[in-house]
Amino acid sequence: MQMPADPRAGALRALLLLGAVMLVGLAARLYHIGWLPLWVDEGFSDWAARQSLWYLWNIFPTFEFNPPFYYVALKGWRALAGDSEGALRALSALFGVATLPLLYLGGRALGGAHARNVGLFAALLFALAPLQVRYGQEARTYAMLVFGVTLALAAALWLTTRPVAVHSAPARPPITILATLALGLAWIMWAHNMGALAVIAIALPLLYWWIAEMRRSARVLGALVLTGFAALVLILPNLLPLLGHAGRVQAGFWITRPDWARIAEALHNLYGAPTPEGTVILAVLVTLAGIGLGTLWRQGRRAAALLLVSVATLPVLLETVISYLAMPVFLERTLLYVAVPLYLAAALGLAQLAQPLRPALASTLVLLLALACGSHFAEFRKEPWNEITRYVGQELAPGQPAFYLNTSVAWGLQYYAPRQQARFRSVGVPEDWPEPAQSQPAADARPNLDRRRINADDLPRVRDIAAHHDKLALILRNAYLTDPDNLVEQALTETHPRVERRSFDGIAVLIFQRR
């Protein structure tokens, strides 16, 4: 007679396998994490992390579009790990790895008889997804945002797939799940302002769940309202800055309105991979996800199915609609989290396949993701601000000016110039970006970003500075946004003919010298 399986042994095996998946995810994110130079947005993260806490909480929200939560966390992390490229990016790597147990829990909520396998495979898909690995190697807030969305989604899935816990006395959802959901929703809003779309995508299926599956239970409604109120209280300090920035985005944000080709490319990258293998990966994942969603629907767990569909698609649709009707906000990296429900649904779909097909397809998909990771990172490059700074430092003597026309250029220069002992003077047009403050700066240290377009009023200052130097440089990055009429270069050539132009992956450095 066959002895029944020991459930504790199965749980231990699942935890060991989850640990192995987390090691895979960590290895993928730490591999060459400091190899590429910081690009300008990462330079801004370093600049922000070097400000005082007072500045981050009081002045920073008056000009930065997104909350200071990530930068405060990076400031603390920077004090522990250092400020090298790899150290600054490692915080995102940790958020990426911390997301894996949340996928496992979300898969367990969906999986039924295959709960552990569903959770493990969903986590493995995320661990090797090229775009998740890329932004798990970036000193930006996106991995933190994905962590928050996954936390809230996992809590919502447990809420909608555990009717026994809801209907038992007392007829109220478990407080631990509600508290986790509130924390996840607040975390989303503190990580990135565009996370509001993920909050909407989670809230609408929960409303359906209360109406259709909880039959408008007053006690369940009360629990959901209390959860929303708790999340609102947690994000209250960020609410006024969020509302205040809405108008400024319309006036001066740099994102361009997407065309349909760009949207299609973003979806291919998000759901598949930014490589030729990505098309096959996308096809397999969408097919498996369809099987998984069909299984949930047939089982009557329709709120869970709607949660997965909503989080996977609604933010993409909303960013597209907002970009065409109001202001351009569509940005691939702000939508990284839409792949999470796809991995959960695909893992559930895989569990429905026959045994001979299941391991073969799982192995093939993991292999394709690993290949996509390898080919993507073999070709992926970042802006070479280390090389740009070194070149300008070699060309200019101490104190000679290097003009820049896009405020973001300052962040790369400020990061690499001290490391390379480059002593040229960086000069922003229309205005300088402030140097990192080591102590509490004054309130007027807020940079003026309301005007980014260069006009004739800026040229007297440019000419005055240039008049005191025989040699100078001009760094052009996205100059079409700030100086479309080429006013600064024309002003410099009046007295300093251009003697050299060098391109660094699309960023031009012009050297001028007086005859």
Give the tens place of pLDDT for each residue, 430-474: 888 777 655 555 555 666 665 678 999 999 999 999 999 999 999
- Considering the domain architecture, whether residues 315 and 266 belong to the same structural domain is answered as yes
Cβ 319 vs Cβ 335: under 8 Å: yes
Instruction: Round to whole Å and give the CA distance between 318 and 329.
Output: 10
- Considering the domain architecture, whether residues 503 and 368 belong to the same structural domain is answered as no
User: Longest C-alpha distance within the chain, in Å?
Assistant: 98
**Residue 243: per-residue pLDDT:** 65
- Is residue 45 in some structural domain? no
Instruction: Round to whole Å and give the CA distance between 256 and 248.
Output: 15
**Burial, 147: exposed, middle or buried (Cβ in 10 Å; 0-12, 13-18, 19+)?**
buried
Instruction: Round to whole Å and give the CA distance between 498 and 488.
Output: 12
Instruction: Round to whole Å and give the CA distance between 125 and 82.
Output: 31
Matching residue, tokens 């250092």: 82
- Is residue 219 in some structural domain? yes
- Is residue 47 in some structural domain? no
Structure tokens of 239? Answer: 């609410």
**Residue 184: per-residue pLDDT:** 98
User: What letters, b where the CB count within 10 A reaches 16 and e where it falls short, cover 19-31?
Assistant: eebbebbbebbbe
Give the three-state DSSP class for 60: helix
- Considering the domain architecture, whether residues 349 and 495 belong to the same structural domain is answered as no
Alpha helices in 253-276 (DSSP H): 260-271
**Residue 174: per-residue pLDDT:** 86
- Considering the domain architecture, whether residues 477 and 361 belong to the same structural domain is answered as no
- Considering the domain architecture, whether residues 421 and 475 belong to the same structural domain is answered as yes
Look at residues 379, 396, 428 and tell me which one is the last residue of a structural domain: 379
Look at residues 333, 364, 379 and tell me which one is the last residue of a structural domain: 379
Give the three-state DSSP class for 217: coil
CATH number for the domain spanning 477: value is 3.40.50
Instruction: Round to whole Å and give the CA distance between 412 and 393.
Output: 13
Q: What is the dihedral of CA 190, 195, 196, 202, to 10 degrees?
A: -110
Cβ 255 vs Cβ 331: under 8 Å: yes
Structure tokens of 414? Answer: 């400020």
Look at residues 350, 379, 408 and tell me which one is the last residue of a structural domain: 379
- Considering the domain architecture, whether residues 176 and 298 belong to the same structural domain is answered as yes
**Residue 205: per-residue pLDDT:** 98
Q: What is the dihedral of CA 375, 376, 379, 385, to 10 degrees?
A: -150
Give the model confidence (pLDDT) of 43-60 as tens digits: 999 999 999 999 998 888
* Structural domain count of the chain: 2
- Is residue 442 in some structural domain? yes
- Is residue 462 in some structural domain? yes
- Considering the domain architecture, whether residues 345 and 421 belong to the same structural domain is answered as no
Task: Beginning with the edge strand found earlier in the chain, give each strand of the sheet holding 401-404 in spatial order.
Answer: 425-428, 401-404, 471-476, 507-513, 498-504
Per the DSSP assignment, residues forming a β-bridge with 471 are 513
**Residue 167: per-residue pLDDT:** 45
- Is residue 48 in some structural domain? no
The strand ranges marked E within 51-191 are none
- Considering the domain architecture, whether residues 453 and 305 belong to the same structural domain is answered as no
- Considering the domain architecture, whether residues 338 and 390 belong to the same structural domain is answered as no
- Considering the domain architecture, whether residues 344 and 432 belong to the same structural domain is answered as no
| Inter-CA distances, 312 with 18, 104, 269, 421, Å | 24, 18, 13, 47
The strand ranges marked E within 307-385 are none
Matching residue, tokens 């190697």: 137
- Which residue stretches of the chain have pLDDT < 70? 1-7, 163-172, 241-254, 436-451
Give the three-state DSSP class for 472: strand
Q: At what angle do helices 357-379 and 115-128 cross, to 10 degrees?
A: 20
Give the three-state DSSP class for 153: helix
- Is residue 487 in some structural domain? yes
The 8-class DSSP code of residue 440 comes to -
Per the DSSP assignment, residues forming a β-bridge with 475 are 404, 509
Beta carbons within 8 Å of 274's beta carbon, 6+ residues apart: 130, 131, 268, 376
**β-bridge pairing 507-513 and 498-504:** antiparallel
CA 307 to centroid of chain Cα atoms: 21
Q: In degrees, to the nearest 5, what angle opens at C-alpha 67 toward C-alphas 482 and 224?
A: 135
**Residue 433: per-residue pLDDT:** 79
Instruction: Round to whole Å and give the CA distance between 164 and 173.
Output: 10
| Inter-CA distances, 271 with 58, 262, 280, 291, 423, Å | 38, 14, 11, 16, 45
- Considering the domain architecture, whether residues 362 and 394 belong to the same structural domain is answered as no
Name the pTM for this structure: 0.93
Matching residue, tokens 């994110």: 29
| Inter-CA distances, 419 with 86, 390, 405, 414, 472, Å | 15, 10, 23, 9, 21
| Inter-CA distances, 398 with 184, 402, 511, Å | 50, 11, 15
Q: Which domain holds residue 499?
A: 385-513
Closest to 223 measured CA to CA, from 267, 189, 182, 178: 178
The 8-class DSSP code of residue 35 comes to T
- Is residue 44 in some structural domain? no
- Considering the domain architecture, whether residues 267 and 150 belong to the same structural domain is answered as yes
Instruction: Round to whole Å and give the CA distance between 193 and 246.
Output: 10
The 8-class DSSP code of residue 455 comes to -
